[in-house]
Amino acid sequence: MKLDEFRILFVVAGLILILVAASPALSLVSLPRSGERFSELWLLGPEHKAENYPFNVRNMTQYLIYVGVGNQLGELTCYAVYVKFRNQTQQLPNSTTSEPSPLPPLYEFRFFLSDGKLWEAPLTFAIEYVLLQQNFSIVQSVSINGMVFPVNCASTWDSDRNGFYYQVFFELWLYDDKDFQCHNRFVGLWLNMTGS
């Protein structure tokens, strides 16, 4: 073997040894994620399962649910979850145009979430005061996590489903350099006030 060939072999072996020795440090370097980037938003019932959600609700009775978010966006993200209340005719968010519901938020959660991580929080709610008449009902206030909010939300009798229907729903928003923007994710929980 000639001296030049020996040098090349020595350099190649040295580079391989350096790469093997540096591989633990290289594994700490984050490579950009390929594939779809998205956020998850969900509700769980009082037993922390996707069942037994409150439906037939009564006046002045507290109910427990859990709201959760998963970050699959590939980066640390600042989220907001807005809690809103509506009757069955008021506007939901429009997922086609990515427009949020025009209803004002009653309550909000704000938090940072790393990529691949989950956030979850309990939420208690109660219909604080409802007025029931023959063909209509008016929910005057709702409490969320112990705070009371006026809503003055009316509903007419739904003869197809035999009830007065309302919905508590959750919109997911993200912070993008200047302000929070609707992230086109929402989930809701229908409530029947007939039994009050």
* 46-104 pLDDT tens trace: 999 999 999 999 999 999 999 999 999 999 999 999 999 999 999 999 888 889 999 99
CATH architecture of 38-192: Sandwich (2.60)
Q: Which candidate, 46, 55, 45, places its Cα nearest to that of 164?
A: 55
Give the type of residue at 57: V
Q: Across residues 91-118, what is the average pLDDT? A: 94
**So what's the pLDDT on residue 96?**
85
- Domain extent listing, the chain: 1-31, 38-192
Q: What is the largest CA-CA distance in the chain?
A: 103
**So what's the pLDDT on residue 83?**
98
Cα atoms in the 13 Å half-sphere on the side-chain side of 120: 11
Long-range CB pairs of 94-103 (<8 Å, 24+ gap) are: 95/184, 95/186, 98/182, 98/184, 99/182, 100/171, 100/173, 100/182, 101/169, 101/171, 101/186
**So what's the pLDDT on residue 134?**
85
Residue 175 has pLDDT above 60, yes or no: yes
Specify the length of the chain in residues.
Answer: 196
pTM of the complete model: 0.80
